[in-house]
Amino acid sequence: MNKNKQKTIFTAVVLAVLLAACVVLDMILPSYHIAITVIKKATVYSLVAVSMNLLNGFTGLFSLGQAGFMLLGAYTYAVLTIPMAKKPGVYQYFDGGAIPFSVPEVFSGVLGETVGTLLGMLFCLLLGGLLAALVAYLIGLPVLRLKSDYLAIATLGFAEILRAFFQWNALGPITNGSNLLKSYPVFSKATPYVVLVGLMIAVILLLITSTYGRAFRAIRDDEVAAEAMGINLAKHKRMAFIISSFFAGIGGGMMAMYMETVAAAPFKSALTYEILLIVVIGGIGSITGSVLASFLYIFFSEWLLRGLDSGTFLGITAPGIFKNGFRMAVFSIIIMVIVLFFRKGIMGDKELPDLIDKRSRKRKKEAAE
């Protein structure tokens, strides 16, 4: 039991330090600083990566529909939160849009400006998640009968169809066609992202360690045995799919906040592959891995390797080599190295508290020698 206590303390300390670091960064850096941007984007990616890990890593359903569910969340959030005053400008080709209210404003009317806006924003994120979950339920009815690669192809196709559908001009009064949705309220600081995503990942973690999470892992390990032991495959697969999509939808809503504009274009399959890459790098079946990999991925691609595209990297100025696209070349090599040397991802299927185990084992070994 002592070890468990140690693990809990270790985890709590690490998380507290990270949160404190984030709060401090928020105070000393302006909100347009690249560090804040990296934190915001990485937290959003973490949430989506964890939701994908829940499905691909813990339940063993290889689904590639994440971008589609994010799109649903992003659009729901943006459409419902654009202030009335800004609507004529945003929906300039569609007579100010078809939705005659803005949820944060409705909430403000009852609860006052600050609290109302905040609750309205959170409520719309939740609605985005619920819409994604509802769509996941409907899509899941036919699609979850498929296995492995076929499921991946079907969900990928669904996401692409959804993207095209949202650009359809006839839906313009709601989705603004292929034009941008913008001017909706966003969190400009990084701390709200970290807190929100932290809470949601905690919920996913609780789910995974519950009896249902164990059933999901049983399905991943051996479907036939799981069914023979009384686990209803259809029900549990649907459940995992819906829950994963719910969090992907919320992640999409937060992605909308981070980007400050929403269009269907960024939610293409490349986004799903990015998330999949993060999941694989972090370790399939490790929540900590997904979060860690998100931060590393965003940190490298958005910040550290930026110079490779713009002429100067680590003090070396070489405009001839370091131009647009070189960053992705270097990045690909890094990923290949990671895949070669960390076959199971950075974390394998270990979590944050397990790190302490490894260290103590090493210490024991050293003591023995």
- In the complex, minimum distance from the CB of residue 145 to another protein, in angstroms, rounded to a whole number: 13
Q: Which of 260, 302, 309, 349 binds another protein (CB under 8 A)?
A: 349
d(CA 260, CA 137): 29
Question: Taking CB under 8 A as the rule, does residue 13 contact another protein?
Answer: no
Q: Which run of H or of E encompasses 145?
A: none
Helix axes 233-259, 211-221, angle to 10 degrees: 110
Pick the stretch among 81-89, 132-140, 166-174, 215-223 that binds another protein (CB under 8 A): 215-223
Both ends of the chain: CA-CA distance in Å?
27
- In the complex, minimum distance from the CB of residue 224 to another protein, in angstroms, rounded to a whole number: 6
d(CA 205, CA 199): 10
Q: Record the tokens describing residue 106, joined without a space.
A: 């409705």
Cα Rg of the chain (Å, integer): 22
Question: Taking CB under 8 A as the rule, does residue 357 contact another protein?
Answer: no
Question: Taking CB under 8 A as the rule, does residue 231 contact another protein?
Answer: yes
Question: Taking CB under 8 A as the rule, does residue 126 contact another protein?
Answer: no
Sequence-distant contacts of 229-235: CB under 8 A, at least 24 apart: 234/144
Dihedral sign for Cα 312, 314, 318, 323, please.
negative
Q: Which of 42, 215, 292, 293 binds another protein (CB under 8 A)?
A: 215
Question: Taking CB under 8 A as the rule, does residue 144 contact another protein?
Answer: no
Dihedral of the CA atoms 58, 64, 66, 71 (nearest 10)? -170
Question: Taking CB under 8 A as the rule, does residue 308 contact another protein?
Answer: no
Question: Taking CB under 8 A as the rule, does residue 20 contact another protein?
Answer: no
- In the complex, minimum distance from the CB of residue 167 to another protein, in angstroms, rounded to a whole number: 35
Pick the stretch among 90-98, 143-151, 232-240, 286-294 that binds another protein (CB under 8 A): 232-240
**CA distances, 28 to each of 21, 189, 214 (Å):** 11, 11, 43
Question: Taking CB under 8 A as the rule, does residue 276 contact another protein?
Answer: no
**CA distances, 363 to each of 106, 353, 367, 368, 369 (Å):** 59, 16, 6, 9, 10
Q: Which of 217, 268, 306, 344 binds another protein (CB under 8 A)?
A: 217
Question: Taking CB under 8 A as the rule, does residue 210 contact another protein?
Answer: yes
Question: Taking CB under 8 A as the rule, does residue 232 contact another protein?
Answer: yes
Pick the stretch among 48-56, 207-215, 248-256, 294-302 that binds another protein (CB under 8 A): 207-215
Question: Taking CB under 8 A as the rule, does residue 243 contact another protein?
Answer: yes
Q: Record the tokens describing residue 291, joined without a space.
A: 């979060």
Question: Taking CB under 8 A as the rule, does residue 137 contact another protein?
Answer: no
Residue 261 is given by DSSP the state: E
> Quick one: 98 or 202, whose CB is closer to another protein?
202
Question: Taking CB under 8 A as the rule, does residue 140 contact another protein?
Answer: no
Angle at 183 between CA 197 and CA 178, to 5 degrees: 95
- In the complex, minimum distance from the CB of residue 234 to another protein, in angstroms, rounded to a whole number: 8
Q: Which residue has the tokens 């569609």?
A: 94
**CA distances, 161 to each of 65, 66, 171 (Å):** 11, 13, 14
- In the complex, minimum distance from the CB of residue 38 to another protein, in angstroms, rounded to a whole number: 31
Q: Which of 222, 312, 318, 337 binds another protein (CB under 8 A)?
A: 222
- In the complex, minimum distance from the CB of residue 32 to another protein, in angstroms, rounded to a whole number: 38
> Quick one: 78 or 215, whose CB is closer to another protein?
215
Q: Which residues bind another protein (CB under 8 A)?
A: 203, 206-207, 210-212, 214-215, 217-218, 220-222, 224-234, 239, 243, 285, 349
